[in-house]
Each structure stands twice: as structure tokens, then as C-alpha cells.
Chain A
């Protein structure tokens, strides 16, 4: 088994101050492994975005430890966290967050430009990646000239162009219709086939379920339980050993917990 690309242990996070203080995360442990697409699900306010921000080195936990490729980020200053994000993590957001003044090509190239990669190779790589997300014909279009699905594919291209070890997506299909949502999930599951790359997707969208290798359910700042999609084929034998993370609330073999979710699948999973 490959070592986790991101490993979080016993994370707590308190947000806000004074009377409005919220404990957004309360002892969360989780490992994201290469070659795996994990869904993070849970009710609104359960702490999914907060957890994603911490795993992505955008927020520092109140307590607990985060390791990126085995290295602890404890005490790293903002500049170093930015470097970690730049070199190891690709982000995908519900609202795409493309730079409106730049073309699709430049938006993708930007991820390499901030690393100081020479313009020539950066452009070539950006074109390649835009081709893999099926946007070769739109490289000179500006975000306002692209559909939501196309914009999200540009954002995916930007996230993967730098060979990030972890792709973290917060509701990537949230603003998309089912066709575009499907295309985006398909892309993400393909990206997760690379064993050096783990993909974590926060979603409310049940249509994303078939693409998942693993589903983590959160509630009230805690991980409630986890499921493995391999159960579709009736294989549950690696349920306990597949990962190195701790699952505080799920006991091995707790079939009733995860079985129903997969019966609700609306479309076929991507071939793996």
C-alpha cells in the first residue's frame, strides 16, 4: 500500500471568537491515499469545508497533526504552507474561482507560473492538460465565454497541471447540471487512477456516489462512518486493512451502515 499523501490525526478546529465560537472539527482523523477517490459527505455545517481547508494547508488546526507526504506541517508559517499548496495540492471549488481576466490557457498556466516554471514549458503543459479535460478547442476562451461545466474542467486542469499529490474539491458539481456533473466526476475518478494522487471530494450530490472508492460521512465535526464502494461487487475483505487511518465511530463489518447508500446509485461507476 502506498503511503498516504495527506494524513490528518485527531484534528480539532475552533472557529470564531467569544460567544459565537464554534468547534467545527472535533477529533477527526483521516488519511488520503494515492489512487483513491474519496467522497466526504455530511449535513451542512458538519465541518466538511473546514476539514478540507485544513487538509489543504489553508487553515491550521487548533490541535492535531497534518502530514503532507509524510511531513508534518506543524508550526509552518503561511509562506511555507503556500509552497506546500503550490507544490502538492490542487483545489477545485464549487464556484470555479478562475481569474476572469485570463483565458482558459492562462488560468491553467497560472498554477505553473506561480512556481516559477518557464513560460514555454508551462504553456505546453497547460495545453496538454486542457486537452485531457476535453477543452483543446476552448483554450483561448475567457471564463465568461465558457459554460459552468467547461469552467470547472478548466479549474480541474489548473488543479492537476502541476502534478499535485492531492486534489481537494469542495462541491465541484454543486453548480452544475447532471450532464456536466457527470463529466466532472468522471474526470475526477480518472485523475484518481494515478496511484500517486489522491482525490477528496466534498459533495452533497448522490450522483457522485458511483465514482467513489470510499465515502466518509461527517456530522457535528466528527467522522460518523466510512464505506467502501468495493462492496458493490460483494468484496468487503479489505475493509479493515485498506487504509492506515482510524475510524473512531465505525466498527468493522458494520454492514447496515453503508449498504443502502450504494443501492441508491443513479449511474454506473467509472471503469477502474
Chain B
């Protein structure tokens, strides 16, 4: 027991971001990671930084986070490979284009102006290599992407520079509250104590909540990614499809990253996953149909990241029922982009009991 101000459980991007923001506010923080930092969703992420197409509940956070990404080097000491390439959702049919038009109108009615509908000619201007059948799309020109593992390492270094102690290979096994302190039980009879605990355990968030006696029984998925051999540059923005799952981008190195929704299977006991080859094949097919330039490429890497997923595809962010407990997990496959802002929200919730950004839609107990 050594007088920590806060203990953060989970060394993904959300745990690191929360730890960084707690550290910057003067708290003495211990971060405990069961495996290695970035070993799950955060290291596996496609790292798209997207305000485009967000659920209205997430828009204020995504917009605030994009502002932080623009100055990310000021926050974590390096640019994390972040580029404002833009993000486009392609319509393959007139019906899909009409659907995108309705979406943009709805978001504008809420007072947000970042999304824009584009016609066939403008789509070809921003995506010269897109297949001829595509009729238009929806764009946010200031969105972009970063490099996932580089970002994780940058947040770790920044957190450590703010005084956070990061301990890997340290799974939390028990949580007990007494006398205003959480006793956090680790392997080998080790116990650490702090008045504040942050549950940022990703897909394992429900298990950690259970250790504190709180039921937040959300599901999880093993989202699948493919990476091609390097190709000459042919696409700048991140591209999604409207009628089928796809997210697609070309990195500075020429590799093309293909993901966007098809799932393998994950095992929370072991932290391992299994690819689903036929679903990976359909991802490859969708990418090829939208971008014939992929024809001669090879898949050099394929992987999954295990991530918690809420019933409404929204994260769990908020105070626990027990005093001194904050939950922030289950980012449902789109939490990378918002991590810088969510770290601030979590630090505010932990220290002041409320957050500057709207947190109500993410109430941990909304499903029970």
C-alpha cells in the first residue's frame, strides 16, 4: 500500500489517456495492465479519427477529440502519425446516397456542420481511383487517421512523463472498498490502494466491474483487419461504404489497411482470437470492388482486436454505483478517435464527479 491517488485498470489507449489526464491534474497514478500496453483493441486498431457518421450522442466528444488530435504533439510529444486525410463514406447506389443526404440533414438540424454530401463529380475528385459504379458520398474533410501502436506508445511515454507508474503483466484479481479506499488485489498476494479506481479494461470491463460487485453485462467482438503489400499511392482519405461493412485506407508506406466490421471470434479467458477466413474474403472482395487498383496486391497481415460492444453500440462511460469508481470501456469498435477527449472526461468524473462533455448517454447502468 503506497498512497496512490488513483489506480487505472487497463493499459489500452483509454486507460493511458485517463492516466495521463489524472497525472496532469496532480494525481499520483498507478496503471495496471494484465498483458502488455496496447496488447488488445488499442494496438490492433485501424486508428481512424472520425467524426463522420458518429451517433449523435458521440458527436460532441468526437468533435472535441478531433481538436485535440490537431495538436496531439503538444499533448503527447509526437504526432502519432496523425494526418487529416479526410474521411468519405461512399454511396454505391442512389438509394444509399439519399440515405446519406437524410443523415447529413439530421446532423445539421442538431447544429453540427462538419458533414457534407458530395456528388459523383466531387467523389471522383477526392477519390480518383474509386470504381465507376459509385454515385456520391458523405465527407468530413478534416477527419483523418493515426498509427495505432505508435499512438499507444506516445500516450504511455506522456503518461509516464506526467508521473504515472505503468505496470505490465499485472492482472487485477480483486477489488474491495473500505474506509474510503479501494484495495486492488494482484497476483502473489500483492495489494495496492487508492481512493479512485478507473475501469478501462476494454472487453474485460464487465469482469472488472463484477469485481466491484457491479453488473454491466455488455458483449464483445473480435474485429478483423487485413493489410496489403505496399502499392503506389492511389487513395488519400479513409473510405467507408454505406451498404456493407468496410473501412479502408492507404498508409504513407503504401500498405492498404482493410477493416470496418467483419468479425472473427475472440476468447476472453485466453485473450486469443480466431480469424474468419470467409468473412475476411468478403472484406477483401468489397475493397476490390470499390478499388480495382488492389487487384495485384497480397494480404501480408491479418489480425483481430477484441473490443467490448454495448447493446446500442455506444461506450460505457460514467461513475460506478460504488464511491470512487469510474467506468470507461466497451467503445464498440470506434473508441480510438475519441480517446484523447474521453481521458479528460474520465479524469473530471474521477476528481470532480462531473464532466464538461455530455456523459449521460453512456450511463453504465442503462441496460439494466
Chain A bound to chain B: no
Q: Which B residues are closer than 8 A to A by beta carbons?
A: none
